[in-house]
Amino acid sequence: MVSYVALLRGINVGGKNMLPMKDLVAMFGDAGCTDARHYIQSGNVVFRAAPALAKRLPDVIAKAIDRRFGYQVPVVIRAAEELADILESNPFPRAETDFLHVAFLASAPKKNAVDALDAKRSPPDSFIVRGREIYLHCPNGFGKTKLTNAYFDSKLGTTSTVRNWRTVATLLQLSS
């Protein structure tokens, strides 16, 4: 069994797609995961599972949510070890962590799509794509950036969900 974190996009945000965390955690148990628990109300679940099960979980959980609540929610999963690597690989080491975020991608984007991203889309914000993550530095705050899920999803042909640096660090701590 390996420790993982599931990151769901767009639930319990602004009164949209309300999903009780106890129900979400139960879905992970029903799917065969152990030690499932949530962190804050916005779709973060820490759990343990066999790697083969974890690989299928984004689809399994998304379908369970759609059946029970009637809406589609993207689910992205990372192993605790991957979270540790993400935190260690911070390409903005001098930036205040309050202005750092990570966009977790459901799949690795193609190089030509990454190369076509507009680095000057939202000055003074900056980003670096590494594998299935986008590191974001938004010195004016994430709420003011044009580096949004919609932008990256449309340009990279995948699905993203964003977490602030502090949340990523806490999820690693909870999953270790």
pLDDT of 103 above 80: yes
pLDDT value of residue 127 = 98
Task: Report the pLDDT averaged over residues 23-29.
Answer: 95
Task: Report the pLDDT averaged over residues 130-140.
Answer: 97
Q: Is 118 helix (H, G, I), strand (E, B) or coil?
A: coil
Q: Which amino acid is at 147?
A: L
pLDDT of 41 above 90: no
Q: Which of 10-19, 34-43, 66-75, 163-172 has the lowest mean pLDDT?
A: 10-19
b/e 29-48 (16+ beta carbons within 10 angstroms → b) = eebebeebebbeebbbbbbb
Q: Is 61 helix (H, G, I), strand (E, B) or coil?
A: helix
Task: Report the pLDDT averaged over residues 129-133.
Answer: 97
- Residue 16: band (very low, low, confident or very high) from pLDDT cuts 50, 70, 90: confident
- Residue 121: band (very low, low, confident or very high) from pLDDT cuts 50, 70, 90: very high
- Residue 18: band (very low, low, confident or very high) from pLDDT cuts 50, 70, 90: confident
pLDDT value of residue 17 = 80
- Residue 90: band (very low, low, confident or very high) from pLDDT cuts 50, 70, 90: very high
Question: If 0-12 CB within 10 Å is exposed, 13-18 middle and 19+ buried, where does residue 84 land?
Answer: middle
Give, in order, the Cα–Cα distances in Å from 59 to each of 56, 68, 123, 127, 133.
6, 14, 36, 28, 20
Domains of the chain, with CATH numbers?
Answer: 2-81 (3.30.70.1280), 84-175 (3.30.70)
Minimal CA–CA distance to 9: which of 175, 159, 137?
159
